[in-house]
Each structure stands twice: as structure tokens, then as C-alpha cells.
Chain A
């Protein structure tokens, strides 16, 4: 029986809203469960958008980690003077191929004489075309063949594991010696000592004087399948006037910038390049690569955001339409709830929570899918899911559900209870 006397009309506080919210949350999950196919179709847009977003962020993240680890490791404080600038985009590369001239031995000698204060300066020439290496009936194809100066061991990535590197003496005498990478040892000398054995490269025999420590793979390419011989030997046996990459090592990061400028000035002077014209050569440092890389990922990102945005909006509109249909379907139910005391905000909360939960479920499905996609891509390429991508994906999809659910929810909230009750269930 009711209390005797007038009851106070109180303003109900947020506690009531919390109870209603919990009810709405379970109701939303139940609705999802009951209408599986419809929910799946509704959420497709959001799922695709979330999966795309996280997958692309993961691939970019994977590549960033990868690049930072390997390629940017050109060797500390080293810059490389070469015919062209690396990673500069296809158009400019084509132009460079036409107008830039290769760096030659004379220019290397010139720089060695005239560049001041370097820690080290070396040169390497890379052989174009297929090179095969043979030993006692075994053949290895696609081997990198480099002609180097002796100090390249101090400048470059490689480290001596067995034996020694090329010496000044080897260089001066154009000795027929070679320094080999681990892949050749694994293939030719699995059980014996490789030193002093004779390996035939492009038909010409060389004596093995040293083996490099294993480097690993970059973008799926092994970095251990190489043969290095003295640059003078390279000129004698293969290419008389080779194109060079001149490696300059500075004492520290600051000084490297100074050295770069000095080297550029020297090259321009030697090549008589007029003041207003561009360089006819390229100076490459890890910074160059990283910048170019950031530009590329920036572009990838911009496109991705565009695609994701489109899918999210489409997905949101689909959710809105389904919710509108749902509200119409449940008009009678809303009438019952209102007759029992549901206020506008209770009904509003119920439907906004429903659309948000639906969209969040789509987002979660997208997260799971993107984890699978990332694992698969990582096998062939590289991909690593950053934590913030998952958070962004979930927040974004929930937000879309919330935003696009407002209109249907407010329609539901404004229904007249008497009219709603009259509607057929």
C-alpha cells in the first residue's frame, strides 16, 4: 500500500541513470545476439574501417621499426657520395639517371687528398648483373660482388669473424684475394675451414682470406651473400673504370654535417658545376633515408585516413538507419516503458547505448581481424600492431555508433506514450 500523505516530487539523480544504463547495456548485447545476421551486415562498414585502420598502422609501424633497426644503420656518422640521391621518388630518380655522372676513382682520390678532418674515407664498387660463385662443383647464384678499399671494414656494416679483411698490401698489389659473407661459408664450407680455399667468382679464382660475421636479412634479402675483393683487383679483373660509392666517416654527428657541406663543395668545384645548377651527384646519409621514409609513410597515412573516414561515415549511416528501423519496430515497447515511468533520457540512453555497443562490437571485431591480418602480413613482409592503434580503433568505432545513434534515439525519446501504446506490437 502507498504511503499516507503527499509524496515529494524529487529530482532523480545520476544514480537512476546508471541503473538504466546497465539495463540498456545488457539489452544491447541481447539484441546483438538475437539479430546476428542483421547486426553483422549493419556493422560491416565499421568492421572494415577499423580493420583497415589498424592494419595499415601496423604495417607502417612494422616498417618503421624495421627501417630504424636496419637501413638507418648505415654505420654511425657515415655519409655516402654516389651518382644519385637514394629514396627520392621515381620521377627525380629518372632525371638524375640522365643528368648525373657516376663518381670515379679520380674523384675519390681527389676527395681523399683535399677533404679535411675526416675520420675515414673509403670507396666501393658494386658489380652489376648476375654474379655466381663456385667451389668444387657447388654453385651459388646472385652473389653481390664488391670492390673495396681496405678501410671499408672500419666504415661499413661488416665485421671480421674469421681470418682478416683486405689489407693495404692486398690493395697495392691487386691481390686476387676475397672476403666472403656467411652464406657462402654455409654453402661451400659447412665443415671445413674456409681460409685459403679458392672460390671462383665469374670464372676467376680468388683466395679466401676472411669471413664476415652474420648480418641478417633486410626486407627478405640476405645481406650475407657477398664477395669483397680489393678495388684495384676489381679494376684489373672486371671493370676498368668502375662507378663508385665514396663512404666518408666523420668523428661525430655535428662534424658530419660540416663534412657533408665540404664534400659537396669540393665535388661541385671539381665538376665545375655553376652556382645556380643542382648537384650532378648524390650525398646520402641515414637522415636522407629517414626523411624520405617519413614522407612516404605520411602519404600512405593520408590515403588510409581518407578510406577509413569514408567507411566510418558509411558504416555510421547504416547504423543510423538500422536504429531508425529498430525504433519503429519497438514503438510499442517504448510505450510500455514510458507508461512504467521511463523518462525521455532513459529512452535516449537505452538507444544510444545500443548503437554504441553495436558499433563497439564492430570495432572489437575489426581489432581481432586486424591482429590476424597483421600476423599473416608479418610472415611475408613486416607488421607490428601498436597499442595506440587498437585504442584509436575502438574509440573511433564507438564514437561513430554514439554519434549516428543520437538521431534515432531522440526520435524514440520523443514518442508520445499513448500513441506508442496504441501501435501494434
Chain B
């Protein structure tokens, strides 16, 4: 029986021997993760890097509480989340995780403001407070003058900023960015990385998932993943 030791306050993420197995029919099982363990401290800037098929997407889904591991445990901000129900996972996602996706994943028919309001709607924040917080978040990413634009009226970089504002609006424990510059040109990509860098300086914990060296170099630590295992834990300046 494993010890149930809650990690100390400064540890934001602890994964302990995470396994994820996908059953594809009777005989075949795919091991996407094979015993992954690491800690991420509060305020760290970490990149998870690996080729396709390495299991980095699976690991990201687990860290982002979109899925639960087949084996192993995962603590997020002191909560053991690896065994939660669907509803509880939804709550954790809402409160603790700020997602930034490669394809932005904004609601096409809603304004920037309404998109940023969404996480606040799902935790029952009343309307006036919602609007104020959403406006604040948009100003933080320098989109204060485009609040009422729809995504199709915004450039790629602006859309990603809306996504970042949405990720911030609930004061999450971690910002989880999956290939945030994948759909942007290199100039815009650099701008977005600067935004993330600034967020880190402001004290946020950032986990970046990427396969590009240039992007990973923004982080202060790179977890290299290969074939479902952590290959190398690299500290960068």
C-alpha cells in the first residue's frame, strides 16, 4: 500500500509512476506512458519536449485533467486528482488549469469578451463580476480595444491572446500550453512567447508542450520524453 504523502506546499505538480494504457480490442494494448515521475515547483517554467508518438500528448491530457492515468498518482496543487470522477475533473480543470491550444479553440460565434467569460460561467460567477474579470484579463494581453470582435475578425496572434486571456481569467495554478505557436508565423509566434514569458515573470507556473527547440528554449527546464518515459530532465539557464 503506497504512502499517501501530500507533497509540500511549494510543489505544484507531482506525478508518481504514471502509466496510461489504451485497450484497442482484445489482444492489443498500447502503452502510451510507462511510469512517468517528476515534480514541478510553483513558479517554474517547464517545457515537455518529444517527437510525435512519444506520449507527450497523453502526458499533457493527464496533467490537464482531461483524462486519468491507468496507474500511478498525480497531485495538482496539493490535491490528488488522479482518481477523480468526471465532474470533479471538470471542476479542477475550471479552477486550476488554464489551457492554451495550438488551434486556439475559441467559440467562433462568440465575441472575444464572451470567450474569456466562459470559464467564469462554468463556475457560476454572476454577470457583472464576470464581465469585469474578463475585461481585466483582455487588457493584460493588450486586447482591451478588441473585446467585442469575433474570432474571424482577429488575426492569429490576437486569437491566441484571447485564448491566453481566457486561460488566465480564473487565476489558475498552471498554464498549460500545447504547441501555442504551431499555427502562427515566426514573428507572431515570438510575440506570443513573449506574452508567456511575461506571465511567468509575474509568478505563474507554465507548462509548455512542444516539439520545437526554439520554443522549448524559452523555458527554464526541459523534460525530454521518448517512448512513454522521461528521457532527460534538462535545466536551461
Q: Do A and B come from one complex?
A: yes
- Chain A residues with Cβ below 8 Å from B87 are 343-345
Asked if A7 and B122 make an inter-chain contact with CB atoms under 8 angstroms apart, the answer reads no
Of A14-22, A59-67, A176-184, A361-369, the stretch lying at the interface with chain B is: A14-22
**Residues in A whose Cβ lies below 8 Å from that of B96:** 2, 7
Contact (A339, B173) CB under 8 Å given A6-B78, A6-B79, A19-B126: no
Q: Do residues B91 and A20 form an inter-chain contact, with CB atoms below 8 A?
A: no
**B105 A339 Cβ-Cβ under 8 A:** yes
Residue in B88, B126, B204 whose beta carbon sits within 8 Å of that of A9 in the complex: B88
| Chain B residue contacts of A7, Cβ below 8 A | 77-79, 95-96
Q: Closest Cβ of chain A: how far from B136's Cβ, in Å?
A: 14
Given contacts A2-B96, A417-B66, contact A9 B124 (CB under 8 A): no
Interface code B52-94, partner A: CB below 8 Å = 1, 0 otherwise? 0000000001001011000000000111000010111011111
A1 to chain B, nearest CB (A): 5
Identify which of B105, B121, B204 contacts A421 (C-beta below 8 A). B105
Contact A337:B9 (CB < 8 A) given known A1-B202, A9-B91, A343-B91: no
Assess the A2–B171 pair: CB atoms within 8 A: yes
Residue of B nearest to A4 (CB): B9
A34 neighbours in B (Cβ, 8 Å)? 109
User: A342 on the interface (CB 8 Å rule)?
Assistant: yes
CA distance A23 to B91 in the complex (A): 18
Residue of A20, A22, A338, A339 ringed by the most chain B CB atoms within 10 A? A339
| Residue from B79, B95, B99 within 8 A of A339 (CB atoms) | B99
Contact of B6 with A by CB under 8 A:
yes
Task: Digitize B37-60: 1 where CB-to-A-CB distance is under 8 Å, 0 elsewhere.
Answer: 000001000000000000000000
Partner of B9, one of A5, A19, A335, A342: A5
Taking the nearest CB of chain B, how far is it from the CB of A28, in angstroms? 13
* Residue from B6, B90, B108, B203 having most chain A Cβ neighbours under 10 A: B90
Q: Is the CB of A30 within 8 A of B109?
A: yes
Q: Which of B7-53 contact A (CB under 8 A)?
A: 9, 42
A346 at the interface (CB under 8 A from B): yes
For B117, the closest partner residue in chain A by CB is A23
- Chain A CB within 8 A of B221 CB: no
Flag if A333 contacts B125 (CB, 8 Å). Answer: no
A12 near B93 with CB under 8 A, answer no
Cross-interface CB contact of A340 among B108, B118, B124, B202, cutoff 8 Å: B118
Nearest CB of chain A from residue B181's CB, rounded to whole Å: 19
Q: Are A342 and B109 in contact (CB-based, < 8 A)? A: no
Please tell me if B172 contacts chain A, counting CB pairs below 8 Å: yes
B107 adjacent to chain A (CB < 8 Å): yes
B123 touches A2 (CB 8 A): no
| Smallest Cβ-Cβ distance to B171: which chain A residue | A2
Question: A387 interface residue, CB < 8 Å from B?
Answer: no
Contacts of B105 in A (CB 8 A): 332, 335-336, 339, 421
B122 touches A341 (CB 8 A): yes
B95-138 at interface with A (beta carbon < 8 Å): 95-96, 99, 101, 105-109, 118-119, 121-127
B166 within 8 A of A: yes
Q: Are A1 and B90 in contact, CB atoms less than 8 angstroms apart?
A: no
Expressed in whole angstroms, the Cα–Cα distance for A189 and B125 within the complex equals: 81
Task: Tell me whether A6 and B122 are in contact (CB under 8 A).
Answer: no
> A residues within 8 A CB of B108?
425
- Tell me if A418 is interfacial: C-beta within 8 Å of chain B: yes
Q: Is the CB of B79 within 8 A of A9?
A: yes
26 examples of A-B residue contacts, CB within 8 angstroms: A2-B77, A4-B9, A4-B42, A7-B77, A7-B96, A9-B92, A12-B91, A12-B123, A15-B124, A17-B124, A19-B121, A19-B126, A34-B109, A333-B107, A337-B122, A340-B94, A341-B90, A341-B93, A341-B94, A341-B119, A343-B86, A343-B87, A417-B66, A418-B66, A418-B67, A421-B105
User: What would 11 more interface pairs be, CB under 8 Å, given A6-B77, A7-B78?
Assistant: A2-B77, A2-B172, A17-B124, A18-B124, A23-B121, A335-B105, A336-B106, A339-B99, A341-B90, A341-B122, A343-B86
The 10 residue pairs across chains A and B that have the minimum distance between CB atoms: A341-B94, A6-B78, A16-B124, A2-B173, A341-B122, A343-B90, A19-B124, A1-B203, A343-B87, A340-B119
